[in-house]
Each structure stands twice: as C-alpha cells, then as structure tokens.
Amino acid sequence: MDFFTLVIIVTAVLFVLKKQEQRQHTQLLAQHLSRFQIEKLMANLMEGYLRAAGEPDAQRRAQIWPTLEGNEGSLASQFQRFADEFAALPAEQTRASTLPLALPYMTRVIPSATVDMRELMKLHAKAIAASRVSEATDDDDDRKRRAFTMTAELMLMQHTCHWFCRGRTVASMRLLARHKTAYEQVLQSVAPATLKAYQKLLKA
C-alpha cells in the first residue's frame, strides 16, 4: 500500500468518525431543545430590536420596546430551563474540542483542549437574563445599548450550539454567513462580565 492510498484511507476513516460524533452531538442538543421555542423567540427578538433601533420616530419607537418584553421573558425562562436540563447530562457527553481543526473524539484524546458545554450554557442563560431590554431605564439610549448587547449575547449562544454540533471553526463561519458578524466582533460586543467568564471557561 503506497503512502497516497494510506492517506486517503485514513482521511476517509477520520471523516466518517467525525460525522458520527457530530451526529451524536446534534441529536443530543436537538433532543433537549425540541421542547422549547428558543430559536423562534431569538429570531423574533433580534428582528424586533432592529425594528425598534431603526425607527426614526421616538413615539413609535417607544411603542415597540414594550411589545418585546414578553418574548424576552419567555426566552430567558426557557433557556434557563434548557440549561438546567443540559447540566444534568454526563460530562463525557457534553465536552467539545477547542482545537480549530475538527478531528474525531479529540475530547478523549486531548481532554485538556476541551470545554464543558454545560458550563457555557449556564453562562448564556445568566447573560440573557441580565441583558433584557425590559430591565433598562426609560432612557432610549439605554434600551438601544441593551438591545445591542442582548443581540450579541444571542449570537454567542447560537455560536456555542453550532460549535457543539459542528465544531468551533464551522460555528464561526456560520455566524459570519448568517449574521454578517465575525466571532471576534461578537465577543467584543457582549457584556464585559460575559466575556470574562467565557474566556475563563475556555482556558479552564
């Protein structure tokens, strides 16, 4: 067997194993998300924030913000319940590789280069609850700042979900393709407390 043939065989085996692992992660996440409306609530909120922030008339803008409170409350509550359920899973099922290259079962081969997704989900639940626009003062600029921060928090949460299912690099590519926003830009846009805790978890 020549070297080129061996490379093809090894690459094919790694590809199959990685697809198998990704399928397991995707099914596990989908199983726990299926009882919630997190994705729908997230999409509605982000669209509502854009509509409110882009409304030039102050009176109309003031009428839009209160309509988003219900969605914010539902999202914060549902994501907290999801994070609590996800936290009950065994650690070996919820770890994801922090390596940029998506290779199969790196969580077992190099456990030090992994992150516990249960802890990230807890962090996102806390961040979403803390960033609600409904907690803002009556100042319109404060509402806009909170809406901007909440949007970044939601994008980072979505990035984490995609990371768990498909890998860190693919998650960043999806973030850029879907929201026209780079991963690094999102990190700089979340609340300082979120960024600090997030970076600590990745280095743990």
**Residue carrying structure tokens 């949007």:** 151
- Close Cβ partners of 46 (under 8 Å, ≥ 6 residues apart): 151, 154
Burial of 170 (0-12, 13-18, 19+ CB in 10 A): middle
Q: What is the pTM of this model?
A: 0.89
96, β-bridge pairs:
115
- What pLDDT, in 10s, does the model give residues 67-84? 999 999 999 999 999 999
- What pLDDT, in 10s, does the model give residues 182-193? 999 999 999 999
**Residue carrying structure tokens 């809406």:** 147
Type of residue found at 148: F
- What pLDDT, in 10s, does the model give residues 6-34? 555 555 554 555 666 778 889 999 999 99
How far does the chain reach from its first CA to its final CA, in angstroms?
43
Indicate the SS3 state at residue 167: coil
**Band of pLDDT at residue 38, cut at 50, 70 and 90:** very high
**Residue carrying structure tokens 């939601």:** 154
**Band of pLDDT at residue 137, cut at 50, 70 and 90:** confident
**Residue carrying structure tokens 């806390």:** 126
- Please give the pLDDT value at position 106: 61
Q: What is the DSSP letter of 88?
A: T
- What pLDDT, in 10s, does the model give residues 81-98? 999 999 999 988 999 888
Cα dihedral value 106, 111, 113, 114, nearest 10: 90
- Mean per-residue pLDDT for 101-125? 80
Strands (E), the chain: 95-97, 114-116
